[in-house]
Structure 1
Amino acid sequence: MEENKDITIYDIASKLNLATSTISRALKDHHSISEKTIKKVKKTAEEMGYVPNTLAAGLRGNKTKTIGVLIPTVTQPFLSSLISGIEITAQKSGYNVIIMQSNDSYEAEVSMAKSLYGSRVSGVICSLAMKTTDTSHFHQFVGNNIPLVFVDRVPKDFNTFRVIIDNYAAGFKATEHLIEQGCTRIGHLTAGSKFGNLYTERMRGYTDALKKHNLPTDKELIVDLESVTYSEGVKASNKLLSLKTPPDGIFASGDIMAVSAIQSAKKKGMRVPEDIAIIGFNNDPISEIIDPNLSTITHPAAKMGQISAEIILKNIKSPKKEDVKEITFLNTEVLIRESSKRK
């Protein structure tokens, strides 16, 4: 397959009718070039798709055997397992992996996407930052035949590959499990307003499970966290447990939230699961350490990483030119442990 022609400073110079030396200096913010010219040169360079040659001259125009991975953080167990699945699969095919963390910053994600493009990666796997709503910074990959896969946190509408679980079905199963254990007033800890469709789909599953079993949806039982942290989980849990009629079950859309709910309930003298049954989401290692052990929903992170890498490798060899808005759904299961097991 013919490679896209690299844009050089000569192309920019020709377009702007300026000397190549002027273009070169402007791109380096040289003091001898006016601010107006620097802005004009950089704007034109970006529009034309110019990439500074940060690699050895012999690599010019070629993609490296490297897959770029852009994720919110490496500290979450789910994302660590995701990376592991990507790396094992990539290494088997002789590919290296570059990992970049956005720390849930949109601005950092934009900058890192540019950096990965400038490094001439062969493909990109991304789980979006929580503050990302505009995904136009990913068009540079698609527009230059660089395979792109979104995984777990994915945009609603982007013409590329997506690897996700069915968050709606998972939320439904978690809630229905609590109902089957005899819960009739079920609270929900979410982060839907901050983290987009991933959590809103879990909440939709929660509300539909209540409807199926003729249980009311009570807005005071749904608490939207500011961030998915233990301290925020404690605040949200205490809000639920301090209600005039507290819940007899809680579905938390993340294990760290569920752990905070267990500990908050115990501090109030409540028995788990006898007084309040609790289920989380992700099957993080902490779910088996907390007492009682936490019931949770499996989230096949390593498998999602493996499949994402396989899609990249397949499309490096045989790029798809047609509409590639393909979604790969992976199954989830309810892992029943002591925190919810009443029957």
Structure 2
Amino acid sequence: MKFEAVTIKDIAKALGLSTSTISRALRDSHEISAETKQLVLECAEKLNYKPNPIALSLKEKRSRSIGVVVCEIANSFFSQVINGIESIAYDRGYNVIVSQSHESYDREVVDLQFLSSRSVDGLIISLATETTDLSHIKALHDRGMPIVLFDRITEEINTHKVIVDNYRGAYDATEHLIKNGFKRIAALAGSEFLSITSERLAGYNDALKAHGLEYSKEYVQHCYYGGMVFSEVEEAVNKLLTLKKRPDAIITTSDKLTTGCLRTLKRRGISIPDEIGMIGFSNYDIAELVDPPLTVIRQPAEEMGKAATELLLQLVESKRPVKEFEKRVLTPELQVRASAIKR
């Protein structure tokens, strides 16, 4: 049986009134008596009537919905960002439609085509690993679609952006390891094309230099899919472990890389931190429950989602074209635990 939503025709039939009377009563028109309005509202509530969002969007020229594109909802960082997005959107009367790129350029293109065809009022986007051609996003932006970029951003599109201080997070993590006696510090990073990768590796590199340690290219391993493919992470970690001068510590630059690295080290029977110290960018709540508890750079993900939504709604609701844009930089937190302290 096909579901059919309650319409004003159903209310009109139930009350024996015309559809035009019902419509005017629901719009609180002065042409309709208070008694009739009350009757209509009570019937609408009883029948669980909801205004047709498509009809409303045609009338108001706004759908009161926003689209979000992330690589993967299962990633704890992005799920927390989405919580932040929804908390602001819901309070402001907007619905949220979430799509996943799974790090695929083609999927990202399809996701954005779908969301724009659904007449969303604006888009919040974190770029996929495979995305180097930005023409699909530029085309939407050039046609006036409000867009906010977060986390994985590009400077090629002039709009609001929300990021964390990736450089500072990686610098502080590297410096913490150095101060705790680790000298051969490796980095497990995502795709070289992503903004977060270059920023985090810059912080890692500068911290080494600041403490008189030499940067070694062989100590940096890139995982193109950022940990979504475990075999890729396992292979990268194993390369580090077979080096003549094996690293005595590893920094991982994303949630999935952190868990993948930890899993590989456990499989190899390597003791943390006795054989290898470890710090990772991670928002997983279980970080403090693993053995040993994991030192992490935690990002203010929910705050990032809230900030991105506030900036997007500024664009959506502005009555004049916005020409000045903001890059909002949030501060990550180094949460020190046993995995990065020599025993």
Structure 2 contact 237–261 (Cα < 8 Å) conserved: yes
Distance 1:146 1:175 in 2: 40
Whole-Å separation in 2 of the counterparts to 1:98 and 1:105: 19
- Read off the aligned partner of 1:207 and give its amino acid letter: N
CA distance in 1, matches of 2:138, 2:244: 51
Q: Structure 1 residues 226 and 88 mapped into 2: Cα distance closer, same or farther (>3 Å)?
A: same
In the TM superposition, 1:1-343 aligns within 5 A as 55-56=54-55, 59=58, 62-193=61-192, 195-229=193-227, 230-319=230-319, 321-342=321-342
- Aligned partner of residue 157 in structure 1, secondary structure: coil
Q: Which residue of 2 aligns with 1:14?
A: none
- Unaligned residue ranges in structure 1 (runs of 5+): 1-53
Secondary structure, counterpart of 1:283 in structure 2? coil
Deviation at 1:104, TM superposition (A): 1.8
Deviation at 1:334, TM superposition (A): 0.7
For 2:60 and 2:259, the matched residues in 1 are separated by: 50
Tell me, in whole angstroms, the C-alpha distance in 2 between the residues paired with 1:273 and 1:190: 20
Structure 1 pair 290–236 and aligned structure 2 pair: CA distance change class (3 A): farther
Q: 1:247 Cα deviation (Å)?
A: 1.1
Structure whose CA Rg is larger: 2
| Alpha-carbon spacing, 1:338–1:231, altered in 2? closer, same or farther (3 Å) | farther
Q: Which amino acid aligns with 1:214?
A: G
Task: Tell me the secondary structure at the aligned position of residue 199 of structure 2.
Answer: helix
Residue in 1 that maps onto 2:16: none
Aligned-partner Cα distance in 2 for 1:262–1:120: 43
Counterpart residue identity of residue 170, structure 1: G
Question: 3-state DSSP class of the match of 2:136?
Answer: helix
What secondary structure is seen at the aligned counterpart in 2 of 1:258?
A: helix
Q: Secondary structure at the match of 1:192?
A: coil
Distance (whole Å) between structure 2 residues aligned to residue 258 and residue 233 of structure 1: 9
Shift of 1:153: 0.9
**Residue aligning to 2:43:** none
After superposition, the C-alpha distances for 1:56-104 in whole angstroms (9 at most, x for unaligned) are 5971781211111112221111111111110111000111111112222
CA distance in 1, matches of 2:157, 2:188: 29
- RMSD value, Cα: 2.3
Q: How far apart are the structure 2 equivalents of 1:213 and 1:336?
A: 20
For residues 58 and 257 of structure 1, the distance between their equivalents in structure 2, rounded to whole angstroms, comes to 42
Q: Percent identity?
A: 37
Q: Which consecutive residues of structure 2, in runs of 5 or more, have no partner in the other structure?
A: 1-52
Query: Counterparts of 1:131 and 1:263 in 2: how far apart (Å)?
Result: 25
Q: Match for residue 37 of structure 2?
A: none
Answer whether contact 2:252 2:258 (CA < 8 A) is retained.
yes
Contact residue 259 and residue 290 of structure 1 kept, 8 A: no
Contact kept in structure 2, 1:259 and 1:294, CA below 8 Å: no
**Change over 3 Å in CA distance of 1:325–1:240 after alignment to 2:** same
Post-superposition shift, 1:260? 3.7
Amino acid at match of 1:185: R
The amino acid of 2:155's aligned partner reads: K
Q: Offset of 1:223 from its aligned partner?
A: 1.2
Q: Deviations over 1:175-222 (max 9, x none)?
A: 1111111111111111233x5221121111111110000001112211
State the Cα distance separating 1:232 from its structure 2 match: 2.4
* Residues 222-246 of structure 1 deviation map (CA, whole Å, 9 limit, x = unaligned): 1112432333222222211222221
- Alpha-carbon spacing, 1:238–1:65, altered in 2? closer, same or farther (3 Å): same
Tell whether the 8 Å contact from 2:104 to 2:131 is kept in structure 1 after alignment: yes
Provide the C-alpha distance between the structure 1 equivalents of 2:320 and 2:231, rounded to a whole number of angstroms.
45
Write the letter of the residue equivalent to 1:317: E
Counterpart residue type for residue 62 of structure 1: K
CA distance in 2, matches of 1:259, 1:86: 25
**Matched residue SS, 1:173:** helix
Q: Distance in 2 between matches of 1:184 and 1:290?
A: 24
For the residue of structure 2 that corresponds to 1:280, the secondary structure is strand
